[in-house]
Structure 1
Amino acid sequence: MSTAVIFVAELGDKSQLMAMTFAARYRVRDVLIGITAATAIVHLASVGIGYWIGDAFADQQHWISIVAGVAFLGFAAWTLRGDELTDDEADKARTSQGAAILAVGVAFFLAELGDKTMLATITLATQEGWFGTWVGSTVGMVAADALAIVVGAVLGRKLPEHVIKYGAAALFALFGLILIIDGVRIAL
């Protein structure tokens, strides 16, 4: 059940856009490893929250949304700053498996904090067993993002890098502003 719920919740989510962006810059395998690791950690925390704390987390949703929004604005700036890399540095970033996995993992971890898939996982864990919810939600999210990875890898071969970079920065900034506005709206 959690696989299907999270797969559907992830469709069209900002995480899929991140997956496409990263897949255009890094090896697909590295992106998938980073996403899987981050998702497993976030969803383990989510089921723990859902199982042990229940709805106490909902009271802090506005702060999580604001912090995630600020992080996304940071991702936008970071994406634009990457434009200044030399060709040699860009090649190292593309070929460095550890750096790519770490970059993707950290970005996904931060992006998923307070996200609808995290909240859906918390909700499922309050009603279902924690282990099945954790495994199912992780599989559902990775499967949905794998679709985006394939699209990103194909686009990365067809679009100029500067188009991908500016597009990704604009999307990160847009989602950051939406998250901040949503957090402020919830707080009021």
Structure 2
Amino acid sequence: MEAFIPSTLAVAIAEIGDKTQLLTLFLAARFAQRNAIILGILVATLLNHGLSAWLGAWLVQWIPEQWVPWIIGASFIAVGLWVLIPDKDDEEDGAVLKYGAFIATCILFFIAEIGDKTQIATVILAARYDSLFWVIAGTTIGMMLANVPIAYAGSWLMQKIPLNLARWSACGLFVVLGILSIIVI
């Protein structure tokens, strides 16, 4: 349970203004089936973050034990600084849209998460904490907390949240997690 709260907070805050949140806004504008979009986000996130958490747990086995806190701490800080860089709105593949809201969301969301800040954060969190289940649960819930409101009230909500505040808050959270990873050896 120790991994759940940092995982949830890290992803929920980092996701604000992220390209996958913009993708959710795009999908909500394209499809009326909000529940299918949300289910697609859930399935894609579970698959993507499950694989990412497994990778993080596997990688930490091959790194010398004394290096782990420093690598994890530096990685958290790097992701924190990365969060300050706004995402570009990538071109979405219109070919998958013909398969409907659920399939299109699963495919596009899974692809958009590859190499994304929240995926990298999931790898780092899984390397930091011993509980894959709680990391995956936390990052998935964080993703859902950030995207479900967008699916339902996207354009209105995006106008109300100051993205700079969200980015700086996420940066601060990742930097604190990085420092704690280094000093709590």
Superposition TM-score tier, normalisation by shorter sequence? 0.5 to 0.7
State percent identity of aligned pairs.
Answer: 34
What's the counterpart of residue 185 of structure 1? none
Residue of 143, 146, 152 corresponding to 2:145 = 143
Where in structure 2 are the equivalents of 1:122-141 lying within 5 Å?
122-128=123-129, 129-141=131-143
How many residues are paired up?
Answer: 124
TM-fit CA distance, 1:153: 7.6
Deviation string for 1:40-93 (max 9, x for gaps)?
10000010000002499x9xxxxxxxxxxxxx44x25x28xx8xxxxxxxxxx6
Gaps of 5+ in 2: 1-5, 64-74, 76-89, 158-185
Aligned partners of 2:18 and 2:101: how far apart in 1?
A: 21
TM-fit CA distance, 1:130: 1.0
SS of residue matched to 1:12: coil
Residue of 2, 7, 27 corresponding to 1:2 = 7
In the TM superposition, structure 1's runs of 4+ consecutive aligned residues that sit over 6 Å from their partners are none
TM-fit CA distance, 1:38: 0.1
TM-fit CA distance, 1:123: 0.4
TM-fit CA distance, 1:147: 2.0
Is residue 19 of structure 2 the alignment partner of residue 17 of structure 1? no
What's the counterpart of residue 45 of structure 1? 51
Is residue 42 of structure 2 the alignment partner of residue 36 of structure 1? yes
TM-score by length of 2: 0.60
Gaps of 5+ in 1: 59-71, 83-92, 156-188
Greater fraction helix: 1
Are the counterparts in 2 of residues 23 and 153 from structure 1 also a CA contact under 8 Å? no
TM-fit CA distance, 1:100: 1.6
